[in-house]
Structure 1
């Protein structure tokens, strides 16, 4: 798969340079015990993570609010390039089983940025312009930014 061409109407993008090497960031995305530590913006948590790391493999990442109410998010991996790229979607829930309501496809792109740093790009490509606007209003940039900060701290500590 080649890198996505930007779709300004349906994409929400987070660009950062993280102070951690990309193999550590990739590990934080692909190892359940690590993913649980950073994936939800605090004070929310990620109590459950199931990953089938292969194209077509499903994932269920469950976030919980402060009251402990759980919100499972099912998806499927489309592409996995270790230490470089993860592409996943909620349009399928594993082995190409369609989901009830697709919302977005995520592209997580990792590039060397010198001196143990990583250029981190997270693209959320939505099915509709309305979905992108709703995700923006839900706090995409603040929430995904907070999670990127948490990811950076954890990856740098490994």
Structure 2
């Protein structure tokens, strides 16, 4: 089940319920071995995924399009509550993790001043977990931007990773 919306402050809220314990969903979300399997929409790959998920830590991820273009993102972590919450800021970067102005790449990206990305991992009981991701982007028309479609495709890939982890347990 997926419930994706943009609230009154124009922040995208992405949710999905997984049939797996919170610890497994957290592992799929934070372990580079698994993030490489889902980072990016359908058809995209993640050839580089370096993650240091701790307060003050930084991650560097590469998303490769089907036609071979490599886009880089860096994530800085501001708050971590194990298995429950990640507060971070993600930005477009070069391959070294240096911040790049999205306009330099012809990308419209309007971050809400002072807002961070927040991901909450809610234990629903009965072995189910609902992560909720609240982005820091201001988006006038998320459907036109492809953000919702991209996130839905990403969550399908996350679901496959989580299902694999749940079967292996």
Q: TM-score range by the shorter chain?
A: 0.7 to 0.9
What's the TM-score once normalised by structure 1's chain length?
0.80
For residue 118 of structure 1, the aligned residue among 107, 123, 129 is: 129
What are structure 2's unaligned runs of at least 5 residues?
Answer: 1-5, 102-109
Correspondence for 1:151 among 158, 162, 167: 158
In the other structure, the counterpart of 1:3 is none
Cα deviation digits, residues 115-140 of structure 1 (max 9, x gap)? 211112111122xx4xx226553212
Provide the aligned C-alpha RMSD in A: 2.5
Are the aligned partners of 1:90 and 1:103 in contact in 2 as well (CA < 8 Å)?
A: no
- Alignment gaps of 5+ in structure 1: 1-5
Is the CA contact (8 Å cut-off) linking 1:91 and 1:98 kept in structure 2?
Answer: no
Q: Which moved more, 1:101-110 or 1:115-124?
A: 101-110
Greater shift in the superposed pair: 135-144 or 80-89: 135-144
> CA contact under 8 A between 2:60 and 2:74: conserved in structure 1?
yes
Q: What residue in structure 1 maps to residue 145 of structure 2?
A: 138
Cross-structure match for 1:72: 72
Secondary structure of residue in 1 paired with 2:62 = strand
The answer to whether the 8 A contact 2:13-2:134 is kept is yes
Separation in 2, partners of 1:142, 1:16: 14
2:111 match:
103
Q: How many residues align?
A: 146
TM-score under structure 2 length normalisation: 0.75
Structure 1 residues 47, 24: closer, same or farther in 2, change over 3 A?
A: same
Q: Residue by residue, what CA displacement relative to the aligned partner does 1:136-157 show, whole Å, maximum 9, x if unpaired?
A: 5321211111211211221121
CA distance in 2, matches of 1:91, 1:154: 25
